Amino acid sequence: MDAKELLDAYRQLWSNRALLVEKDEYETVRASVEKELKDEMTHPRLRKSSYEKFHMAVKRIISSALNDDQKVKLIDLHSNVLESLEKQS
């Protein structure tokens, strides 16, 4: 699965997000997952931890209509982004 397919799969999870490509597809989807795990779209007092957001994202991916390959790749991406956020803190 290439970066464009990964971005398309992620867009299926979040149909109300535009996700405009600035540099490349992979960086766009990676930045969006990072923003999701940091819960940046929520008011600071209501934000959940990255682990809670990861759990919610995995549940959303599993219950989606995506094929198994897409689900595995998206969960792997979320996992990698979570690991990089852990290293930053």
Average pLDDT, integer, range 77-87: 97
CA pair distance 72, 15, nearest whole angstrom: 19
Full-prediction pTM beyond 0.75?
yes
Per-residue pLDDT of 19-59, as tens digits, reads 888 889 999 999 999 999 999 999 999 999 999 999 999 99
**By percentage, how much of the chain surpasses pLDDT 90?**
85
Contact 78, 37 (CB under 8 A): yes
* Tally of CA atoms within 13 A in the half-sphere of 78 that contains its CB: 23
The arithmetic mean of pLDDT across residues 48-75, rounded, is 97
What number of other Cβ atoms are within 10 A of residue 46's Cβ? 7
